[in-house]
Structure 1
């Protein structure tokens, strides 16, 4: 992809992110049935966190990375996600949280990331986190150095693949011995569901008219 085309995409995306966001309406398209039934809201114990959605040019197209969480004793073990994590006291903003976590988890050089804007914050009841998705770009394909404690695998996903509606499915997803009825994106053999799928839904709604 010529640099001019990628920068045109980035500039248009930045403009779209500055407009009113689709938010919950887009989230609902990929929300699990259990989430809809519970309708849980943030509370006094809810913690703030952020993830980084970063686009980069690669193989004549536009890509972004997802990560596979390793198996561990936690509610998000073995799930697909964007790089990110909880806000620390030393973080001056949630944008800083997203950048720091991406650097720690997959080795992205955050000084090269240009932040375009933010998507709508989303609440994750199982972990009681309120998550801020931050959207940015890199002018090149990064070298990934995943932290094995946090990341089992990095999956590079093309924007064209995300925009293909045939990757959307819905059936029972087993999570820690429980079947969850949830929509998902089938991406390179992985089911991307839950909050990450809801973020992707809003992201795609925002960029549908952005030239690629």
Structure 2
């Protein structure tokens, strides 16, 4: 049986003219042989609209970064202590997503990168991270764990798709990245 061709990640044509950020989707095999994906829970901070949310490690590009790939590696090291340049194997890039700056309505492009982790679990969280969680992929992909999160806006309450795990809620951009990652993983594992 032929493999379904994978859709190329979408690159926004105007991304170089906008503020850029990147994140790392990091997966590993656990001791039981199952795959799991790393998430951080953002620290609670006044004025941060995503305070306490589940996310992938990452952040905005800085002047010293050679590009979004380098920013994902740097931000992961800063936020979690995990050194992707030593223990991470880069696999692929996912589609660009557009969001806004935390406190402004200016658009920002976020590029996700997928890595396989083969290093130790020595986390050294910085002030931006409340906790680090490995979540089994079987849980993340199971239909019974998909839910809806109400999100109040000044125009009314939106019902946002999400995945729930032990009191955590993965939604928004992180949920969109997760869904693309799971589709890619499913496509390459089919016979």
Query: Normalised by the size of structure 2, how large is the TM-score?
Result: 0.81
Displacement of 1:44 in angstroms is 9.4
2:28 maps to which of 42, 52, 56: 56
8 A Cα contact 2:58 2:76, kept in partner: yes
Q: Quick one: which of 129, 133, 145 aligns to 2:124?
A: 145
Secondary structure of 1:95's partner?
helix
Match of 1:131 in 2: 110
Alignment partner of 1:208: what SS? helix
Distance in 2 (CA, whole Å) between partners of 1:153 and 1:123 is 25
In structure 1, how many angstroms separate the alpha carbons of the residues matched to 2:40 and 2:88?
A: 18
Matches within 5 A, 1:36-75: 46-59=18-31, 60-72=33-45, 73-75=47-49
Pick the structure with more helix per residue.
Answer: 1
Matches within 5 A, 1:137-176: 137-147=116-126, 149-173=127-151
Q: More strand by proportion, 1 or 2?
A: 2
Residues 1-39 of structure 1, C-alpha deviations (whole Å, 9 max, x = no match): xxxxxxxxxxxxxxx9x9423759xxxxxxxxxxxxxxx
Q: Call closer, same or farther: CA 1:88–1:116 in 2, change over 3 Å.
A: same
Structure 2, unpaired ranges of 5+: none
- Report the TM-score when normalising by structure 1: 0.74
- Structure 2 CA distance, aligned partners of 1:209 and 1:45? 33
Unpaired segments of 5 or more residues in structure 1?
A: 1-15, 25-41
Structure 1 residue 54: Cα displacement: 1.0
Q: How many residues align?
A: 178
User: Which has the higher mean CA deviation after the structures are superposed, 165-174 or 104-113?
Assistant: 165-174
